[in-house]
């Protein structure tokens, strides 16, 4: 059975002034998948996600979400359509409490949906419930990542984009984060994951794309990429 | 008793500065810009109330409401016409634009109301209260101004900590990009902030003119600059900071006037500011500025 296309990127080119950061890439994400975008630092991964969520604009091509071209829709309206972005470095609101961060994640939802959303977040991450009244800046790195993920879930997204959720976390916490991401997929969420940690990312992904200096150089199922010589050499340490 | 009289005078002037500083600090905190035209919105507020009372014969309360409505609309218009197109532009460009808007408002006022000062009728009808056998006098303006400042600060604190829009403002203040990713409309949030700041400026204008009843196109400049100083003094971006900075500034100004020198009082105010900033660069209650990577 053919699965539904959730996201379809076609020929996007993104510039920062004279810097050509993303060079005409195209890729698709299907319903219920974890798709990874892997690549070294500076490859253009964050730029790609920022373009999809509308923070930066592509000069060309199209970005279709659920069959609708969103390439010129304002960022806050893209969230309303069910596409949420957990940005690099988590970017939680450090001066707001844990609970207020979750409320911001639910900014566009009906008032009646906010409490159930929080309860769901607390079931997923009981640590957050213990700290609900605490200022988010006092959380540990791992807890902040949990909060960033929960905050994004508050909007009840169809597609979640996560930018380097493992960044700066201890290995044991990284494993927990990846378990959560798998669990989210099993709960029916579709996930576009950006990672430098290719091994971890490929271990939970269905498919992946390799990004090198703004170009997609390889793509395939996660299994194919894990077995590919060039990926092993460049990203998996031989 | 003269110390107490001066203290009340300082609290009252300081409360006006605080109300103006609250507007400065909200706009700075959320839009990340110094709206130098804020002082001139005070002046417009003064004229609006003056015209409503003088030419239309309306009661003071209606005059204040008209001033608030006109200033709110003006604040929103200034933001959308002058500042919004510069979103993302270097802060120097925005600053110069703000100074331009300030001159524009002053000259518009000059054109409409001429440079002849108008004598403003106080909106406060309370008689001065005599205490301690007449040695301590508290004017009605002082009472109303101090109460207004406390009420406004409390309301703003509740607004930013309890309401959805208020929390969104704090989120935008901390990280505009992340706030957008939550679905928060940045333009609307900033617009709202300007509306609040301008409405406060209108109230401040009316209270200031009630205490110092000459109104001219440059009336807003000096209190505007001093309130800006107060906001920096208390820690720009902080609501209690603006309140504390405003009050302290008013007290320092009145006491310098009374006990040191009327000519030097402004110099002393700024000297205190410089000393505070040397010791604590973020101001009295300012938060540490996070390094952005
Ligand atoms: N705000 C920016 N201004 C200028 N250049 C940038 C900016 N952000 C990223 N770049 C450049 O764009 C390229 C891609 O960056 P990025 O998308 O952050 O890569 P990645 O997320 O894969 O590490 C890099 O060369 C980077 O230096
Ligand atoms: Mg990146």
The chain A residue lying nearest B169, using CA atoms, is A104
Residue B292 has pLDDT above 50, yes or no: no
Among all bound ligands, the one having the nearest atom to the CA of A163 is 2
Please indicate whether residue A89, judged by its CB atom, sits closer than 6 Å to ligand 1: no
Which ligand 1 atom lies nearest to the CA of residue A40?
A: 22
Contact B177 A91 (CB under 8 A): yes
Contacts of B178 in chain A (CB under 8 A): 87, 91-93
Whether pLDDT at B181 is above 60:
yes
| More confident site: B32 or B168 | B168
Interface contact flag, B184 A94, Cβ < 8 Å: no
CB contact under 8 A, A87 and B183: no
- Averaged confidence pLDDT in chain B: 92
What residues flank ion ligand 2 with Cβ within 5 A? A 46, 88
Residue A21 C-alpha to ligand 1 middle, in angstroms? 6
pTM of the model: 0.92
- Furthest C-alpha separation in chain A: 52
Q: Which two tokens stand for residue A59?
A: 């000069």
With 80 as the cut, is the pLDDT of residue A237 above it?
no
Share of chain B above pLDDT 90, in %: 76
> What pLDDT, on the 0 to 100 scale, is given for residue B26?
94
By the CB < 8 Å criterion, does A114 face chain B?
no
Residue B293 pLDDT grade (very low, low, confident, very high; cuts 50, 70, 90): very low
Inform me whether the C-beta atom of residue B170 falls under 8 Å from chain A C-beta atoms.
yes
| Confidence at residue A127, expressed as pLDDT on a 0 to 100 scale | 93
3-state class (DSSP) for residue A220: strand
Element (H, E) at A117: helix A111-124
pLDDT by residue (tens digit) across A57-100?
999 999 999 999 999 999 999 999 999 999 999 999 999 999 99
The secondary structure of residue A72, as a DSSP letter, is: T
Does pLDDT of A38 surpass 90? yes
Which residue of B168, B180, B182 is the best one to mutate when testing the A interface, meaning the one whose CB has the most A CBs within 10 A? B182
Residues A194-216 pLDDT 10s: 999 999 999 999 999 999 999 99
Ligand nearest to the CA of A50: 1
b/e per residue A171-202 (b: at least 16 CB within 10 A): eebbebbbebbeebbeeebbbbbbbbbbebbb
Confidence of residue B283 (pLDDT cuts 50, 70, 90): confident
Domain chopping of chain B, boundaries: 12-220
What mean pLDDT is predicted for residues B55-74?
97
pLDDT at B124 > cutoff 50: yes
Taking residue A31's Cβ as centre, other Cβ atoms within 10 Å add up to 15
d(C-alpha B201, C-alpha A128), whole Å? 41
Residue with the smallest CA separation from ligand 1 atom 12 is A21
Q: B181, A75: Cβ pair inside 8 Å?
A: yes
């Amino acid at each position: 059975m053919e699965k539904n296309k959730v996201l379809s990127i076609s020929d996007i080119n993104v510039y920062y002034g004279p810097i050509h950061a993303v060079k005409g890439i195209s890729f698709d994400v299907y319903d219920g998948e974890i798709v990874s975008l892997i690549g070294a630092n500076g490859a253009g991964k964050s730029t790609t996600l920022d373009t999809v969520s509308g923070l930066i604009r592509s000069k060309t091509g199209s970005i279709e979400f659920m069959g609708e071209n969103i390439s010129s829709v304002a960022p806050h309206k893209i969230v309303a359509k069910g596409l949420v972005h957990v940005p690099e470095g988590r970017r939680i609101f450090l001066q707001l409490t844990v609970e207020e961060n979750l409320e911001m994640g639910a900014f566009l939802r009906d008032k009646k949906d906010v409490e159930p959303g929080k309860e769901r977040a607390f079931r997923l991450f009981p640590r957050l419930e213990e700290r609900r009244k605490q200022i988010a800046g006092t959380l540990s790195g791992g807890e902040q990542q949990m909060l960033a993920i929960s905050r994004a879930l508050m909007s009840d997204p169809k597609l979640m984009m996560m930018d380097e959720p493992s960044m700066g976390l201890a290995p044991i916490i990284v494993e927990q984060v990846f378990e959560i991401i798998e669990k989210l997929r099993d709960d029916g969420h579709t996930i576009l994951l950006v990672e430098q940690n290719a091994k971890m990312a490929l271990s939970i992904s269905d498919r992946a794309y390799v990004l090198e200096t703004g170009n997609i150089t390889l793509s395939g199922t996660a299994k194919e990429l894990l077995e590919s010589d060039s990926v092993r050499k460049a990203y998996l340490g031989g | 008793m003269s110390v107490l009289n001066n203290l009340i005078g300082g609290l009252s002037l300081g409360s006006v500065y605080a109300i103006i500083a609250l507007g400065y600090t909200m706009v700075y905190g959320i839009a990340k810009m110094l709206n130098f035209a804020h002082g001139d919105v005070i002046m417009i507020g003064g004229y609006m109330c003056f015209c409503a009372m003088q030419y239309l014969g309306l009661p003071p309360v209606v005059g204040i409401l008209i001033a608030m409505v006109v200033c709110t609309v003006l604040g929103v218009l200034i933001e959308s016409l002058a500042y919004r197109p510069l979103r993302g532009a270097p802060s120097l460009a925005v600053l110069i634009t703000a100074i331009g808007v300030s001159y524009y408002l002053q000259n518009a006022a000059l054109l409409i109301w001429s440079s002849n000062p108008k004598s403003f009728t106080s909106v406060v009808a309370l008689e001065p209260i005599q205490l301690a056998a007449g040695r301590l006098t508290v004017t009605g303006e002082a009472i109303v101004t101090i109460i207004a400042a406390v009420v406004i600060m409390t309301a703003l604190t509740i607004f930013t900590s309890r309401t959805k829009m208020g929390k969104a403002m704090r989120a935008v203040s901390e990280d505009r990009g992340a706030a957008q990713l939550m679905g928060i409309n940045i333009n609307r949030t900033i617009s709202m902030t300007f509306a609040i700041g301008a409405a406060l400026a209108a109230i401040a204008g009316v209270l200031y003119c009630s205490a110092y009843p000459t109104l001219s196109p440059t009336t807003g400049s000096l209190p505007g600059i001093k309130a800006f100083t107060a906001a920096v003094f208390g820690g720009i971006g902080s609501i209690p900071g603006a309140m504390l900075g405003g009050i302290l500034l008013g007290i320092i100004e009145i006491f310098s006037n009374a006990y040191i020198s009327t000519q030097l009082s402004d110099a002393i105010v700024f000297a205190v500011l410089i000393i505070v900033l040397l010791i604590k660069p973020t101001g009295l209650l300012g938060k540490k500025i996070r390094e952005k990577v």
